[in-house]
Amino acid sequence: SNEMASMLGAIFGFLSWPVSIAISWLYFAIQESSSTQATLGKRALGLRVTDRNGNRLTFARASGRHFARILSNLTLFLGYAMAGFTRNKQ
């Protein structure tokens, strides 16, 4: 019935949001804290993700950076704009 299909669609839509967040988080955190220190796109451009001292990120630090990126996106990219006004441009 249409009602059952509608309800299943709503449930799938509700559950797909946290699943997509988890997949995104794991992709970025695992890749950026790995020995390659980069996602596939960053590797293609010859970029590496490091801490302030040039060291590899821990999984926890890479996770924190990923969720901070999400927060910045939710605030209309305010975090990225703020980087232009800080002393270290970070």
40-75 pLDDT, tens digit per residue, is 999 999 999 999 899 999 999 999 999 988 888 888
Supply the pTM of this predicted model: 0.72
- Predicted confidence (pLDDT) per residue in 1-27, tens digit: 788 888 888 888 888 888 999 999 999
At residue 40, the pLDDT reads 95
Q: Which of 44, 8, 36, 40 is nearest to 27 (CA)?
A: 40
